[in-house]
Structure 1
Amino acid sequence: MDGSGKAATGRTETGRPGSAQAEWWRGAVLYQIYPRSFLDTNGDGIGDLEGITRRLDHVASLGVDGIWICPFFTSPMDDFGYDVADYRAVDPMFGTLEDFDRLLAAAHDRGLKVVIDMVLSHSSDRHAWFAESRRDRTSPKADWYVWADPKPDGTPPNNWLSVFGGSAWTWDPRRAQYYLHNFLTSQPDLNLHNPEVVEAVMGECRFWLERGVDGFRLDVANFYTHDRLLRDNPPRTARATDGVPERNPYGMQAHLYDKTQPETLEVLRRLRRLMDEFPGTFTVAEVSDDDSVGTCARYVAGADRLHTAYGFSLLSCPFDAGSLRGHLEAFERQPGGGWPAWAFGNHDVMRPVTRWGGPERDAAFARQLVALLGCLRGTVFLFQGEELGLPEADVPYDRLQDPYGRTFWPEFKGRDGCRTPMPWTTQAPSAGFTAPDVEPWLPVPPAHLPLSVAAQEGDPDSVLAFTRAFLRWRKGQRALTGGTIRFLDTPEPILAFVREMAGAPPLLCLFNLGRDPAVWEPAGDAALVIVAQAGAPGAVAGDARHLALPGHGFSIAVLEG
């Protein structure tokens, strides 16, 4: 620690390593870490910040550019950290501020950026702000949360629903009013229409920027503001919100008034001004909306808005060429020329090799997903365990932790299946995540043991070896990290697109999304030259006019002519 109480992280005078590369995030790959499930170093069965620090060499070996760490702030853990009680303190189960400073310094020493999760839409009901707000209607923070009077019959002010089930309103007898919560009842919504609240959350962000973090992932950013008139949402007439389970009534409404309001853009502009005070930092918004692609594009359309954003479109769509192309092209058609971000998995959705691969999933499919994600135009997010090809875990009901899953069981089993501990070794029962005699907070499925880091180390055909080789190769391909994307008309199940950038050879990216072999033939007089990159199993036919792809095969080729 230096004399100021901040970590001595070896920063430049602008506050962080490599800050001269202000747009490092364009085309970057960030590795998402769910702290509870990464590595337990104190024997309580829950991962911690020290566990992340100890495994940074593994992360760096993948060839990623940085890490995104899910919330580690003080919290009652009703929603496992997404219910923040103190934005400036580390929850004791994860460690201390000094542990975070050591993690930050260790990551920067390895050339890794550090992005942390900021939950600005809502707080925990244990936060001091909410305690003061609910005390009475005249407290200094009375308007810091969203309060409303009941209808004359005592029912909630409108028909808004919680994502996690039931009404989005809960009665509070202290104030004799309802408060809004888009998620759990213990996650009251902050009133970001109030300028004082906006400045307060900016102060929480500034605390971490001054500590040296490189950016923020903004949880549910399109929930920041609500309709001031509290109008009812109409019934849904089109498709449901991306990522919402079919049985969830939340998907039965068109969410015109409870989120994605125009005033949110003013909050985002204020945040961007703050970020611009710290060169080299960036923001990525999470968007869950009826039109996630369109909302993402609006949030990143201009230098006064966010740097990038991702939605649930690729986290919930079918795995076929038409669907994937449709979502990707939809962003490219949006005005403003913003920069997208993409992920196939995260801590909220079923792991992609299971969601898309089904029982026939194998290492070839897992390798294809890594390559496909890495070839898209945008910033890429890889969730812990995707470099191993981990399938979804089947967590029994008696071990379920996720309140969302408990509400909608058994049609929707919740989010625990993607959150099980990272398997570091083949040692049962906890795969090196914690001590052998300690029960982890979620069980490690036996199917994960042979896919552990230790099991795949040294195997040149493993998903881990491919991920390392591919991501390192990708760094040298300017067309992939910064170029445009142009889709080609191809029959199912082939997805084909060209990545182009001035001064670099155009790359043709071909993916056979089916399980059976397929052949692709270029149109016109184009010829193909296979790029010598690791693991792409395509082969050019004798006349360089046909490309044969095995099931779940792919090739990346220089397009000539």
Structure 2
Amino acid sequence: MTEWWRGGVIYQVYPRSFQDSNGDGVGDLPGIIARLDHIAGLGVDCIWLSPITQSPQADMGYDVSDYREVDRLFGSLADFDSLVEAAHARGIKVIMDQVVSHTSDLHPWFEESRLNRTNAKADWYVWANPLPDGSPPNNWPAVFGGRAWEWNPTRGQYYLHNFLASQPDLNFHNPEVQQAVLDVMRFWLERGIDGFRLDTVNYYFHDSKLRSNPPNKVKNEHLAYAVNPYDMQEHRYSKSQPENLAFLKRVRALLDEFPGTTSVGEVGDSHKSVKLMAEYTSGGDTLHMCYGFDFLGPQFTAAHFRTRIEQFFKAGPDGWPCWSFSNHDVPRHVTRWAPFSQSPTDLARQAAALVLSLRGSVCLYQGEELGLPETDLLFEELTDPRGIRFWPEDKGRDGCRTPMPWDRGDAPNGFTSGKPWLPVKPAQSMLNVAAQNADANSTLAFYRAILAWRKTHPALREGDIAFLKSAEPVLAFRRTLGEQSLLCLFNLSAEAQTLAVSGIPSGTELEPVSHHAALAGKSMQLGPNGYAFVALDTGRRVSVK
């Protein structure tokens, strides 16, 4: 039997912004339960819950103070159990964020570790002596700005934090830390979770010698400065260390004790993300899937999509990617790729068709099925520490995290009866679920249709992928499994394209989910952001010019 996750579709729920049930303006677990039929109606296989564990919320839950407790902001362990049960009753798996590269500075582990150099958890975090002049031990920067080292006068040492100073990094070189993390995962697996999305999975280990990073020569050749100094380094020693692979094998061994569970690792490394994705998922004894940020940036060319996919499967033929175009960390793709389109609706449809036809699994981010654009926020409306620090050049992540608009009428469109933690603006309000439910031609209706259509084509879930030679802006490839083969053509531009195709039998009709596409003899017309799917015999040769 095929593993459910291989080629499956995961729907990311950002709990703060999905549905509020108690009027405090923040989404919660009972709210998610109330909206499960919406998720089930899409036809996805799984829900990924962004952090729900106890946290002071300095980084919106990515700073955990108790790994075994649900934050009261979202509900209780009983609510969690109810959510898993309700999702399973609808045939939907549930995975959850595990943020274990670092904790909150309010976690009991760190509160003990910071007391002195001799306590039982003294070596559970990354501590280092200052240089003779009192400065940090090396040049590592933090992702959210400033140095990655914070002084602790009680110990007379610095501790490492790759993100906020209130997010100290765990020391994975310590076997006790590895075991404690695995015990946390076991707790949730025994509670019925179907797996984990592993946050910053390549940040677990640091260079044990604490060597300084070299400059990012590629970036510095083009930029006199960076908005964030973090981008001015090649992070050779502060993350993505070779010791990581052995620990990921321990994670897989644990998951294998719970048949049917899965893992999705987040790889954040601009220099070698595709290579690490392949390494971390190859061999059948590491992670099940990984995703990087290659398709979460501004690039929208045929060459970009083709090279990254080919590089992945060349580096790890038996590895498995999980592709996504939007998530809680980046601007929504309808806005990010707007320069390549005349119509946000056409772009939303094309993006869905593209990501759902690539070889790998898929992650859809809540609101993507509505075609939501990035929310334009004022500085005083921000909550994200990154956006607050680097405004206005980098507005942070709040713009993709604003609440789901559910009902017709005025904002916040049924998300809450109180004041939402982030505002719902008119551009998002008008794309509400209720209005799109009533429109057979809406983006939401399209998502349901193409997800249903994809389930009838196993070649899209598990088949091989072979790219055809085609000139920009056209991306062309075939997906093949057994006797089933699909030709997939995408015009990644705002201008119409005419293609000369050969090998398609006369009278062939395009698959019904094709859009802005017409086939006449050997001529394929693709309108702005148009795309076409053509069912072919496996052995038939085709070409595109």
Coarse TM-score class (shorter-chain normalised): over 0.9
Aligned counterpart, 2:496: 517
Return the alpha-carbon distance in structure 2 between the equivalents of residues 375 and 271 of structure 1: 29
Query: Contact (CA 8 Å) 2:369, 2:444: kept in 1 or not?
Result: yes
Matches within 5 A, 1:155-234: 155-234=135-214
Q: Determine the C-alpha separation between the residues in 1 that align with 2:369 and 2:226.
A: 29
2:124 is aligned to 144
**Shift of the alpha carbon at 1:22?**
6.5
User: Which of 348, 363, 368 lines up with 1:386 in the alignment?
Assistant: 368
For residues 315-347 of structure 1, give each alpha carbon's deviation from its aligned partner in whole angstroms, at most 9, with x where no partner exists.
014111122222222212213420111000000
- Classify 1:336/1:554 alpha carbon distance in 2 versus 1 (closer, same or farther; 3 Å): closer
1:451 aligns with 2:431: yes
Work out which of the residue numbers 305, 316, 325 in structure 2 matches 1:344: 325
1:11-48: CA deviations, max 9, x gaps?
Answer: xxxxxxxxxx5711000001000000000010000000
2:509 alignment partner, one of 523, 530, 537 = 530
Residue equivalent to 1:3: none
Aligned-residue sequence identity (percent) comes to 55
Post-superposition offset of 1:539 = 1.5
Deviation at 1:238, TM superposition (A): 2.2
Q: Match for residue 4 of structure 1?
A: none
> Alignment partner for residue 373 of structure 1, among 355, 362, 370?
355
Is residue 325 of structure 1 aligned with residue 306 of structure 2? Answer: yes
Q: 1:507 is matched by which residue type in structure 2?
A: L
Aligned AA (2:491)? N
Q: How big is the shift at 1:410?
A: 0.5
Q: Alpha carbon RMSD of aligned pairs, Å? A: 1.5
Amino acid at match of 1:549: L
SS at match of 1:238: helix
1:547 to 512, 518, 524: 524
Deviation at 1:533, TM superposition (A): 2.9
For normalisation by structure 1, the TM-score amounts to: 0.93
Between 40-49 and 487-496, report the one with greater CA deviation: 487-496
The Cα shift of 1:117 comes to 0.3
User: SS where residue 533 of structure 2 aligns?
Assistant: strand
CA contact (8 A) 2:142 2:148 kept: yes
Deviations 1:380-438 (A, max 9, x none): 00000000000000110001000000111000000000000001013222111001xx2
The reply to whether residue 408 of structure 1 matches residue 364 of structure 2 is no
Which residue in 2 is equivalent to 1:309? 290
* Structure-1 residue corresponding to 2:463: 483
1:121-164: CA deviations, max 9, x gaps? 00000000000111111100000000000000000000001000
On the 8 A contact 1:347/1:419 being kept in 2, the answer is yes
Could you say if the C-alpha distance between residues 530 and 120 of structure 1 is closer, same or farther in structure 2, counting changes exceeding 3 Å? farther
1-side partners of 2:519 and 2:234: how far apart?
A: 49
In structure 1, distance between residues paired with 2:95 and 2:179 = 21
Pairs aligned (count): 532
Q: Distance in 1 between matches of 2:95 and 2:2?
A: 15
- Deviation readout 1:417-472 (Å, 9 max, x if unpaired): 0000001013222111001xx21000001111221101101211110000000001
- C-alpha displacement at 1:530, in angstroms? 3.2
1:67 maps to 2:47: yes
Q: Deviations over 1:336-363 (max 9, x none)?
A: 4201110000000000000001484421
3-state SS of 1:333 partner:
helix
Change (3 A) 1:50 1:528: farther
SS of the aligned residue for 2:12 comes to strand
Correspondence list, 1:127-142, <5 A: 127-142=107-122
Residue type matched to 1:441 in 2? W
Instruction: Tell me by how many angstroms 1:59 deviates.
Output: 0.3
* Aligned-partner SS, 1:129: helix
Contact 2:102 2:168 in 1 (8 A): yes
Q: Distance in 2 between matches of 1:521 and 1:361?
A: 25
SS of 2:485's equivalent? strand
Moved more, 333-342 or 222-231: 333-342
SS in 1 for 2:309: helix
Give me the whole-angstrom Cα distance separating, in 1, the residues matched to 2:471 and 2:57: 48
In 2, Cα distance between equivalents of 1:75 and 1:454: 33
> Which residue among 485, 489, 501 is the counterpart of 1:506?
485
> Residue 491 and residue 239 in structure 1: after superposition, are their counterparts in 2 closer, same or farther (change >3 A)?
same
Cα displacement (A) at 1:492: 1.4
Q: 2:380 aligns with which of 398, 405, 408?
A: 398
Partners of 1:212 and 1:367 lie apart in 2 by: 35
Q: Aligned partners of 2:237 and 2:343: how far apart in 1?
A: 41
**What are the residue-to-residue correspondences of 1:395-474 with 2, within 5 Å?**
395-435=377-417, 438-474=418-454
Equivalent position amino acid for 1:553 in 2: G
What corresponds to 2:267 in structure 1? Answer: 287
Deviations 1:30-75 (A, max 9, x none): 1000000000010000000011101000001001001000000000
Contact 1:538 1:550 in 2 (8 A): yes
* 2:344 counterpart of 1:362: yes
Asked if structure 2 preserves the Cα contact closer than 8 Å seen for 1:528 and 1:559, the reply is no
In 2, the alpha carbon distance for the partners of 1:519 and 1:332 equals: 30
Separation in 2 of the partners of 1:239 and 1:222? 21
Q: For residue 309 of structure 1, give the secondary structure of its aligned residue in structure 2.
A: strand
Structure 1 match to 2:536: 559
> Residues of 1 paired with 2:296 and 2:127: CA distance?
33
State TM-score, norm by structure 2.
0.95
CA deviation after TM superposition for structure 1 residue 520, in Å: 1.9
Secondary structure of the structure 2 residue equivalent to 1:456: helix
Equivalents in 2 of 1:386, 1:348: separation in Å?
Answer: 14
Change (3 A) 1:350 1:246: farther
Over 3 Å counting, the alpha-carbon distance change for 1:73 and 1:161 in structure 2 is: same
Aligned residue for 2:316?
335
Q: Deviation of residue 174 (structure 1)?
A: 1.2
Q: Deviations over 1:239-289 (max 9, x none)?
A: 59xxxx941111111111000001111110110110000000010100010
Match of 1:296 in 2: 277
Aligned equivalents of 2:513, 2:395: Cα separation in 1: 37
Letter in 2 for 1:201: V
Q: Give 1:517 shift.
A: 1.4
- How far has the Cα of 1:559 moved from its partner? 2.8
Answer whether contact 2:328 2:400 (CA < 8 A) is retained. yes
- Cα deviation 1:357-383 (Å, max 9, x = unaligned): 148442111111111110011110000
Name which of structure 1's ranges 205-214 and 546-555 shifts more when overlaid on structure 2. 546-555
User: Which AA in structure 2 matches 1:548?
Assistant: Q
For the residue of structure 1 that corresponds to 2:508, the secondary structure is strand
Match of 1:260 among 240, 247, 251: 240
**CA deviation string 1:68-124 (max 9, x = no partner):** 000000000000000000011000010000000100000000000001000010000
- Residue number in structure 1 paired with 2:68: 88
2:543 is matched with which residue?
none
Residues 226 and 232, structure 2, Cα contact 8 Å, conserved in 1? no
Deviation, structure 1 residue 523: 4.4
